Each structure stands twice: as structure tokens, then as C-alpha cells.
Structure 1
Amino acid sequence: MSEPSGPAVIVDPYSSGALFASALAERGIDVVAVLSAERPPEAYASSYQPRDYRDPIVYRGDLSEVVDRLRALDPRCVLAGCESGVELAERLAPLVTPARANVAGLADARRDKWAMASAVAAAGIPTIPQICTDDVDEVRAWLVDTGLVGADLVVKPPKSASTDGVVKVAGGVGWADVFTANLGRVNQFGEVDDRLLVQQYVTGTEYVIDTFSQDGVHALVDVCRYQKVDNGPYMAVYDTMRWLPETDPEIPGLLDYARRVLDAVGVRYGAAHVEIMLTESGPLLIELGARPHGGGQPRFNRIATGDSQIDRTVRSLVGEPVSETYRLARHQTCVFHIAPASGTVHGVSALDKVRDLPSHHFSVQNLTEGGPVQATRNLVDSLEFGFAILSHPDAEQVAADYQVIRGLERELVITSDQPAPIG
């Protein structure tokens, strides 16, 4: 059977998935967009570039219709551009491009975090203690059985992303109220959270392992270390993401764990984004995304390493060798802006100085003088506020410029939108 010569199919080409179109066009490969809904989720809307796609195919509930249209194109691959496209891409690929598809029977484990954790645990790989249910009494019994009564907990949806809906419950105090309040919530993808995960809160250092897989061989693209902080009641707010040199001593153990996880959930082809907490007792999976690292990370990864998940995908599709590892060329950190409170913001011109920093490579700030700002609760809020990419041959310069950015943020004045009390 000859190699397919048609287009690459990207399901929901949003976020980093929007980068596929130009990269593939440079190598003479057309791109067909499949949209999982008429409109992108609000969190991804600004990244969608409809001019890059001649005739997007919109999935309206009839999978066979989409399959028939795609088969007629003889596509090279069907890939998810971002998290909202994973579920549909995983259903389409085995039917349309079986030679470049993941294990069909494990599709749920590449999207639903409970199915993911269950598959990983079934493979004998350590996981975070957790339960997924819509029954508060079932959680209560589980806490007793596992000895987690009074422990720090995390309540989160099994199918959202970007820390959307993730709540830390210190000492487990009020967990049932949090569970009840969030059950039935509509998440950022417009899906109803009809079940919730309750997990033991684990501590350690959080890493992301970005990979590209071909025929079940998982090659390393980059490793980044997250620093997260609590912002008032909101847990795990992104502070920084730092690219690590390939010589970092933690990488071999993290990569071995990530590869076992990828095998356990049936990843065979394409980009994956594996988030891992390195605890005192070893690595534990936070979650996995069967798609490229989001937020436009691949374009910044090119600056840090000269390569990216997007580029490796393209090379594989044109039959070129794909690298097995990477080399860090520049010290690089993404600094996420953090708003400590919601209200009206003043003094935003202070952030103009970010662009004058010696290590400044790229930055965006979306605040307007006298406009609204939302207290940073999750990654979506961080990206709506803005971020800066600091990149420099000298690691100390990057560290110093990070401190300057946090100082500039403290010059912002946020006034409450609440009316003053009378009398």
C-alpha cells in the first residue's frame, strides 16, 4: 500500500495547533481543519486562523459523515491541535489513518483523567490516590477507606484543562461543599462536569515532558519545570515555566516514567504533553494531553532548542528522520503575569518596561488603563493577563529579569469594583 499523499488533518487547530498550517505549508502539505463544534471554545477563539483552511469540516454529531469526507482526501494523518480536539481526533484517526493512529481501545485514557489514571495504574505505574464519581457519599467512604480524612485534597473535572475548575481543599475542610458546588458546572469547553475527581494533594516539583511518538517509539522534544504558587484561594497558579538543559539529572527518571505512561494509555503516533509531579517517593502523573504543548509553546521551544513538536511532526510526514532528544541552546523562562485581585487596574504603563529587559524575547500584556482585571485563578486567566518569554545565554540574567517583572507588577494599582459601604 502506497503512503498517503493527501493533506494533514488537524482537529481543532487552535492554541499551538494553529502552528501546524504554516509549518506544513512550507513543506508543500495542505491542511484540512476539522472542527469539533461550530465555534472554538472561548479560551481558544483568539488563536483560530480561519483563513488558513479552505473548507473546514464541522462535526455535527455524525461521525460517519466526517469519516467519509476525510477518506476521500487520502490524508496523511489526523491529529488533535489542542485539548478540545483530542476526543474527536482519537475517534477519527483509527478509521481514517490507521497506520498513524493511537490504540483505539484506550481512547478514553487519552482524554478522561479518570480513565487515564486507571490505565496507568493497571500497568503497574504509581499514580496519585483518587476517585471519580458524582456521589458525595462515595467520596466520603473512599476518604475513610484510604485514610485521607483530614488530608489536603484536590477537586477537579475529569475532562477540562489549564487548571480550569481545579480547587485545593486544605485539610479537607469543606470538601463536600466544594464537590457539590462544582458538580454540574459547565467547563471552559462547554461540557458539563457531571462527575468530579477527588485526589490526594501531593507535593513536589512539577515537570512537563513533551514528546513526539512514531510507531510507539517516544522521542523527547523538551523538558520544562513549572513553578506554581497559591494566589489567595486559588491553587497552582502558574508562576514560571523554565526550560531545562538536556543534562539535568532528573530527566532520565522522568523520561522513563513518561514513556511508561505513554505506553499505558496507548500513544503510538504524534505529540504528547505529560505533566508529572516528582515527589519524595518518585514521579506521579498529573495528567497527559495527546496533543502539542499548548499556549504557543512550540514556537518558543524553537528559540530554546531549535526544534519543536510541530517541526518533528512535519518531518515525520515527509519521511525525514526525527530527532530522539534535544539540546538547550539558550536559557529560557516563561513568566506568567499574576493579578492578586479582581477590579479596575491602573498604572499599566509600568509593564512597558518588560520589553526593555536584556533577556526579553517576547511578551504580551492584555491590560488597559482603567480597565478590568480578573484575579489570576488558572492558566486561562494568566494568558488573558499576559506573559513574557525571557531568553538569554546567561541564566543569571534571566533570573534577574524575572525579579524585575515581579517588581513591575507590584506597581499596578487594582481598585475594588465593590461599592463603598454607606454610613
Structure 2
Amino acid sequence: MNHIVIVDPFSTGKLYAPLLNARGLNCIAIISRPDLPAHFTQDLVAEHFTQVLDWRPELVETLDALGVVAVIAGCETAIHLTDHLTEALGVRGNSPATSDQRRNKYSMQQALDRRELAHIDSHLVTHPDQIAAVLTTIAPDQQYVVKPLNSAATQGVVFATGRAAVEQALLNAGWDQRNDLGEVNLGFVVQPFISGPEYVVDLVAFNGTYHVATVCRYTKILRNGSPFVYDSLDTLDPNDTDLQPLLDYARQAAAALNVLHGPLHMEIIWSPQGPVMIEAGARLHGGIAPRLFQQVYQPDLLSVAIDSYLGRPAPAGSGCSRQLRHGRIGFFWAERPSTFEGPGFEPMVEAGKVPGYGGHRYFVATGAHVPTTIDFATCPGLFWLSHDDARQLDHSAEQIRALLWSQ
């Protein structure tokens, strides 16, 4: 009884196995689909696993005989199969009957509505023949968001004002195309644009009670004619009483999505009417964030998630992790189209001397074309910082951008 299954251990899902191995547990990787894109599967670190298996229904009997104690969703593509396996193997998990509420961007808003929680009125479009009917609901001067039901990040997201622009966005949408997750787009959702500061809350469920592991706030700036350019994601103290309405809502939303075990990553707008969830995913925060959180919070998100999967009790205390330091993920932006040439050796050395510097990552390869940054999808890279003094983060961010991104 010392085997852990990790479905699609990619993105931040690859962080689980080394920590579980250190606890004497054997990890088995299951790849949910044979057509997962290479930019996902290249994340696999095979030596962290006793077996790497392609999913087939017969595996349930094999896994049951091994004595699996937990099934973990590594990333978005793993949600449905993870829920199926937890039920089939009789281990802690979330019900496969409600998997869509934790993956489908229309279903999760419907789940909030059923609990009479703040939500976004959403219109589902699963076929181009439905566009005309949806357009009758569109206000002439209101701004809308058109997004795929099952994509990740901001891929395929279009902002449109008025009926004609929404129609054009839907006509130009990627019908029957595969997204960056390798999944065929199941359809699109049309939602009124909700304004207000954007927060990220990472919860971990312990049999239906929720520990808040992190709270962060995005800062967006007007740049290159777009108000959707990301400047930073800053960590906040979950024990700050000013954040209590946000966290109360997040816990209620998690319950509405029927999250009983494991992590839930939530994006929430604090609108003038109060917090409203944009979307959520039943997995770890993506990117480099969990590594930064290890330096900022105690206990950190990854450790709390592992405890939940292993059936350990929730951390004692307030129901929130403590912020020990200040953290920031900063984003690079391109002022004009260019060819990426990299920063060179000396700037890289100097960046390492900047107070609080944790690392950086480019999303473009040397010699690649870089478009003008207008949103997260066109962001060319990021960096991360942590420091005892919050004011130092501003100075360090300015230095890092000057050293590692200049046009």
C-alpha cells in the first residue's frame, strides 16, 4: 500500500513525485491520452516513476492489486481520468459525476448559480448554428469575453464589444480545432466582461473543508494600446482581514464545485458587487508559482496538497497558511515586434545579484519572432522574486527588466 498514481505528471504536476519518493512512496505515471502534445509530455521525468503507463481501462485491476493509496491530477488534462480512477479504486477523490464542474467553463458557472453564489451569466455555443440565437442576447455597447470551454490559460480568449464584434469572434473561433492541451475545442462560452481587480486563490480540500494556501493579486497595465498586459502577480497574506470576503466566497465556490480532496486553483474578480469566480481548476497553480510559494508561505501549497492526498489532517490554526516573505512573479513585455536574441552572459550574471531574484523563464526561443505584447498569450517571459521588504520588489523588478528584457 505504498503506490501513488499521478495522472499526466506535467507542468507543476511533475513536482509531486520527488517529494513523494522522499517519503518512501512509489509513484506510477499514467498518461491519459496518446495524442497529448509534445510540449506537455516532454515534461515527464521518467526516473521519478516505477512505471509509466498509457491509460487503458484494464489498468484498474492492475492498480487495485498494487494497493494504490492516492490518485493525483498532474494538470488540466488529468481531471476526468483522475476522478474516474479515485472512484474505481476506492481512494480519496472528487466525484466523476461532477468532473465537468471542475473543468468546463460553462458547467462551473452553472454550479455557482445552483448554489445562488455570485457567478457570470454565460451563454453556451457548441455549434456555429447556435450563433444567431446567442446574438439576440448581446447588448449593443457591452463588452464580452468569448472563450473556449476547455482550453487553458488565455488561449482562444477574445474580448469583444457589441453584437457585431461578438459575432465575428464566434465566426473566427477555432471550431473543431485542437487547443494547446491537445483537446478538441468542445465549444465556446460568451460572458459579459467583469471589471475589477483580479485575484488568484489556491485552496486545498480536506474532506470538504478548505485550507487557503495562497492568495495573489494580478496587476495589469495599459500598454501597446491594450489594458490587458500583465505587469505582476503579487503574493498576499491570507490572514489579512481585508481579504476575508474574498476567501469566504472562495470556500463557498469550492463547495459548489464539489471539491472534496486536493488543490483547487481559482481566478476571482473582486467586482464592485463583490467577488465572482472567473474559472477554476482542480490542480496545482501552474508555472513556477509553487516553487515561489515554497519561499513565501508556511505551510506551502505543494506540501499541503500532498498531505490532503495522503489523508493527513488539515494544518492546524486559522485555516490559512502564513506569509513569511513577500513574493512576486513579474512579466516581460515587448513594445514592438522583434526577433528574440537573449540577454547575453553578463546581464545574466548581474541579474543573479539583484536582491530577491529567484529566476526567470522565456516563452520564446532564441531567434524566434516576438509579437507586440497585448495580453498574457503574447507575454514573452517572466521572472520571480521574494524578499522580506515588499518595497524591494519594485526596485528589483525594474532592474531585472532592464537586464533581461530590452528592445
The answer to whether the Cα contact below 8 Å between 2:308 and 2:314 also exists between their aligned partners in 1 is yes
Match of 2:185 in 1: 193
Shift of 1:326: 0.9
C-alpha distance in structure 1 between counterparts of 2:228 and 2:242, whole Å: 22
Tell me: CA distance 1:190–1:50, structure 2 relative to 1, closer, same or farther (3 Å). same
Of 264-273 and 189-198, the range deviating more from structure 2: 189-198
Tell me: CA distance 1:218–1:226, structure 2 relative to 1, closer, same or farther (3 Å). same
C-alpha distance in structure 2 between counterparts of 1:178 and 1:54, whole Å: 46
- After superposition, the CA RMSD in angstroms is 2.6
Of 46-55 and 188-197, the range deviating more from structure 2: 46-55
Of 211-220 and 177-186, the range deviating more from structure 2: 177-186
Shift of 1:229: 4.4
Task: Pick from 307, 322, 331 the counterpart of residue 315 of structure 1.
Answer: 307
Question: Which amino acid in 1 is paired with 2:327?
Answer: Q
Shift of 1:107: 1.4
Tell me: CA distance 1:93–1:47, structure 2 relative to 1, closer, same or farther (3 Å). same
TM-score, normalization: structure 2? Answer: 0.90
Q: Tell me, which stretches of 5 or more residues in structure 1 are unaligned? A: 413-423
Match of 1:225 in 2: 217
Question: Which amino acid in 2 is paired with 1:192?
Answer: V
What's the CA shift string for 1:248-297, capped at 9, x where partnerless? 34421111111111111111001110111110011111101001111132
C-alpha distance in structure 1 between counterparts of 2:305 and 2:3, whole Å: 13
The answer to whether the Cα contact below 8 Å between 1:139 and 1:198 also exists between their aligned partners in 2 is no
Match of 1:338 in 2: 333
Match of 1:421 in 2: none
Shift of 1:111: 0.8
Shift of 1:310: 2.2
C-alpha distance in structure 1 between counterparts of 2:36 and 2:174, whole Å: 24
Task: Pick from 341, 349, 354 the counterpart of residue 351 of structure 2.
Answer: 354
C-alpha distance in structure 2 between counterparts of 1:381 and 1:51, whole Å: 34
C-alpha distance in structure 1 between counterparts of 2:364 and 2:180, whole Å: 21
Match of 1:393 in 2: 388
The answer to whether the Cα contact below 8 Å between 1:363 and 1:388 also exists between their aligned partners in 2 is yes
Secondary structure, in 3 states, of the residue corresponding to 2:153? coil
The answer to whether residue 149 in structure 2 is matched with residue 164 in structure 1 is: no
Match of 1:53 in 2: 49
Q: Tell me, which stretches of 5 or more residues in structure 2 are unaligned? A: none
Tell me: CA distance 1:233–1:204, structure 2 relative to 1, closer, same or farther (3 Å). same
C-alpha distance in structure 1 between counterparts of 2:195 and 2:183, whole Å: 29
Tell me: CA distance 1:182–1:43, structure 2 relative to 1, closer, same or farther (3 Å). farther
C-alpha distance in structure 1 between counterparts of 2:336 and 2:178, whole Å: 23
How do residues 127-138 of structure 1 correspond to structure 2 at under 5 angstroms? 127-135=119-127, 138=130
The answer to whether the Cα contact below 8 Å between 2:300 and 2:321 also exists between their aligned partners in 1 is no
Of 213-222 and 250-259, the range deviating more from structure 2: 250-259
The answer to whether the Cα contact below 8 Å between 2:343 and 2:405 also exists between their aligned partners in 1 is no
Task: Pick from 257, 261, 266 the counterpart of residue 274 of structure 1.
Answer: 266
The answer to whether the Cα contact below 8 Å between 1:40 and 1:48 also exists between their aligned partners in 2 is no
Task: Pick from 56, 67, 74 the counterpart of residue 67 of structure 2.
Answer: 74
Match of 1:104 in 2: 96
C-alpha distance in structure 2 between counterparts of 1:378 and 1:82, whole Å: 23
Shift of 1:172: 5.1
Question: Which amino acid in 2 is paired with 1:66?
Answer: L
The answer to whether residue 235 in structure 2 is matched with residue 243 in structure 1 is: yes
Question: Which amino acid in 2 is paired with 1:96?
Answer: L
Secondary structure, in 3 states, of the residue corresponding to 1:47? coil
Query: Equivalent pairs: percent with the same residue?
Result: 30
Equivalent pairs counted in the alignment come to: 401
Question: Which amino acid in 1 is paired with 2:124?
Answer: C
The answer to whether the Cα contact below 8 Å between 1:168 and 1:234 also exists between their aligned partners in 2 is no
C-alpha distance in structure 1 between counterparts of 2:48 and 2:375, whole Å: 30
Secondary structure, in 3 states, of the residue corresponding to 2:219? strand
Tell me: CA distance 1:87–1:104, structure 2 relative to 1, closer, same or farther (3 Å). closer
Shift of 1:213: 0.7
The answer to whether residue 133 in structure 2 is matched with residue 153 in structure 1 is: no
TM-score, normalization: structure 1? Answer: 0.86
Question: Which amino acid in 2 is paired with 1:168?
Answer: F
The answer to whether the Cα contact below 8 Å between 1:143 and 1:149 also exists between their aligned partners in 2 is no
Tell me: CA distance 1:359–1:50, structure 2 relative to 1, closer, same or farther (3 Å). same
Task: Pick from 15, 18, 21 the counterpart of residue 22 of structure 1.
Answer: 18
The answer to whether the Cα contact below 8 Å between 2:26 and 2:50 also exists between their aligned partners in 1 is no
C-alpha distance in structure 2 between counterparts of 1:143 and 1:180, whole Å: 12
What's the CA shift string for 1:388-422, capped at 9, x where partnerless? 1111111111012223344456632xxxxxxxxxx
What's the CA shift string for 1:32-90, capped at 9, x where partnerless? 1111123643443443212212321212xx4x323222212221111211111112212
Shift of 1:170: 3.6
Shift of 1:369: 5.7
The answer to whether the Cα contact below 8 Å between 1:229 and 1:236 also exists between their aligned partners in 2 is yes
The answer to whether the Cα contact below 8 Å between 1:155 and 1:199 also exists between their aligned partners in 2 is yes
Secondary structure, in 3 states, of the residue corresponding to 1:160? coil
How do residues 380-419 of structure 1 correspond to structure 2 at under 5 angstroms? 382=379, 385-408=380-403, 411-412=406-407
Tell me: CA distance 1:40–1:232, structure 2 relative to 1, closer, same or farther (3 Å). farther
C-alpha distance in structure 2 between counterparts of 1:51 and 1:380, whole Å: 32
C-alpha distance in structure 2 between counterparts of 1:34 and 1:180, whole Å: 37
Shift of 1:11: 0.7
How do residues 39-50 of structure 1 correspond to structure 2 at under 5 angstroms? 40-50=36-46
